[in-house]
Structures are given as structure tokens and as C-alpha cells.
Amino acid sequence: MEFLTKQDEKLYTGKTYRHNFQWYNFDEENCIFYVWHKKEIKLIESKNLWSTMNVFFMKDWTLKVNELTDKVKIWISTACQIFSAFDEENGWFYNFLPYFPTKSIEEKNQIFSKLWLNISLSNSSKWVLIKNEKWNERINIEDLDLEWIIGFLFELALLYWKFENKWDKLSAIKIQLPLFGQFLAIWDEIKNLQKKLQDNWIFIQISENIQWDKHTYEITSNDYELLEIFAKLYLPVENFSQITKREQAQEAIEALKNFLNNEWENEMITKIDNSCVKLLQKI
């Protein structure tokens, strides 16, 4: 994998510059980045990059959406196990969803049914209960591989979700996970999950919002590879036929190839055509 840059000894400043591209930290000596900014390709020195600029990131392989989707389906029930407690009166453990709106129970159960998931929600005096017929022991997020992680995120999106879309265009996912007490420790697991996704060059953003004794961990992503998998999984409920970020990336890629053609960078154009190219925004 690599960022699309140009090297030149004349640019040497003796310093290393750290950039945060959608929560991915990248250290580099001064160089020139190919940048997509205000719908134009620009050449910007590393030391002059500022927030909201988009740089080009390339990897030499693409996720196989159909193949990965089939594997992910197996692990969608992972997130059912986040919140558990012991009922001392009845002597059994149960799983629940904190701060879950009871008015949404029926809607969510209908979605689970359409997705052929053996998951059901019910109201009780002990929060909203969540039941999964294919029950497993609580799985540590740190032990999950890519398929498990995506399945985990997809179920979180079903439970505490907002698919940001306009008509059939999906632009992002936003998960707002409310936590309290001992469950605040999940924050470290979420950060590890983010790192594992980065290892596979899938990018999510995480943030924390604190209001009195209630913490909300927000997970967002507009990574088009991840959104394409989510859209495929969600198809029985709603058809997202277009992924906004892929369209935006394709527009920028075509502009970049035209720009490179003027510079006679034919080798680079061939490499772009044979790579998975993403736009990452500097934070």
C-alpha cells in the first residue's frame, strides 16, 4: 500500500511530518502529495497539507464483496453479547441493550426477520432484552478476524444505527453506542477493532461523547469497501444501489489520471488502474 506522492531531494527540510488521515497516522519526510481539493488535483508539499484536503491512498488488492459477505453473515450475532448481567432472583444471565428506545423494538424485530437473523428484542423491567438463538460465549473483540469484525460492526449498525442515505445512495454509517459503568472498558476494544480494520486498509472513525454519567461512543465510516458489504448484507430490507464515496473517488481518480497524463506518468496511471484507490481526508 502507499500514498500517492512525489519525492524530491530539494524538498528535504530535516523534519518528519505526522498526518492524521481519517484516524490513520502517517509519518513522512517532506514530499509532495497529489491532493483532491475543491474538485481539482493539486500538488501540495507535506508540510503545507491542511485539514479537509483529500489525499490518494492505493493498495494492490480489493475486498471481494460477495465472497466476504457470505462469511460475514455467520458472525453477525457477535454484538448481541456486549451487555450481560445476572438476574439474582431467577438465577440466570441475560443480555440487554441499554438506553434502547422501546418504540423501536417491533421495527428492529421485523428487520431481523427480513435478514433471516435468529435475533429478537423484548421489553422488560431490566432494559430491552436481546436474545440470539445461536448463542456463543462472549467473544473478545481482540480475537476477531476481519469477517467477525465486519459482522460485529454490521449488527451494531442494526441496533444503534443510522445509515446516512438519500434515496438509494448510501453515504456513510453512524453507530452511537451508549455505555456506562463497567462497560466503559469496551472503549479499548473498539480502538483495537479500529486498528485491526486499518491493518486491512478499511477506515473507521471513533469518538467519545460524555454527558454526566452517560458515555456515547460514536463509530462512523464512509469507506466505500465497508459500505458496499453493508449494502449487500442489508439488501433484503432496502436496496442501496449507489455508494456515494465510491462515486466521489471515481470522479477524483479520473481527474487524477487526466492530470498524470499531462505529466506523461503512464506507469503511474497503469498502477492506479490495477489498484484499489481511496480518498482519505486529512483531519
Average pLDDT of the residues of the chain: 86
Listed by start position, the domains of the chain span 2-59+245-281, 65-240
> Which pLDDT band holds residue 111 (cuts at 50, 70, 90)?
very high
CA distance 163 to 111: 14
Partners of 60 in beta bridges: none
At residue 89, the pLDDT reads 81
> Which pLDDT band holds residue 183 (cuts at 50, 70, 90)?
confident
> Which pLDDT band holds residue 75 (cuts at 50, 70, 90)?
low
For 1, the grid coordinates are 500500500
At residue 136, the pLDDT reads 52
Ranking 187-196, 197-206, 261-270 by mean pLDDT, the lowest is 261-270
At residue 42, the pLDDT reads 95
Cβ-count burial 170-191 (b if 16+ within 10 Å, e if not): bbbbbbebbbeeebeebeeebe
What torsion, rounded to 10 degrees, do the Cα atoms 65, 244, 24, 194 define?
-50
CA distance 77 to 81: 8
Rounded CA Rg of the chain: 22
Spatial contact of 73 and 134, defined as CB atoms under 8 Å apart: no
At residue 203, the pLDDT reads 92
| pLDDT of 137 higher than 70 | no
Per-residue pLDDT tens for 4-52?
998 877 887 888 888 888 878 888 888 899 999 999 999 999 989 988 8
At residue 204, the pLDDT reads 93
| pLDDT of 138 higher than 80 | no
pTM for this one?
0.86
Residue 195 CB coordination number (10 Å): 12
Give the fold, CATH level 3, of 65-240: Endonuclease I-creI (3.10.28)
> Which pLDDT band holds residue 135 (cuts at 50, 70, 90)?
low
CA distance 40 to 256: 9
Contacts (Cβ under 8 Å, ≥6 apart) of 89: none
Ranking 72-76, 117-121, 246-250, 253-257 by mean pLDDT, the lowest is 72-76
For 12, the grid coordinates are 528535504
Spatial contact of 233 and 72, defined as CB atoms under 8 Å apart: yes
* 148-173: average pLDDT: 86
Contacts (Cβ under 8 Å, ≥6 apart) of 31: 5, 6, 7, 8, 11, 45, 46
| pLDDT of 3 higher than 80 | yes
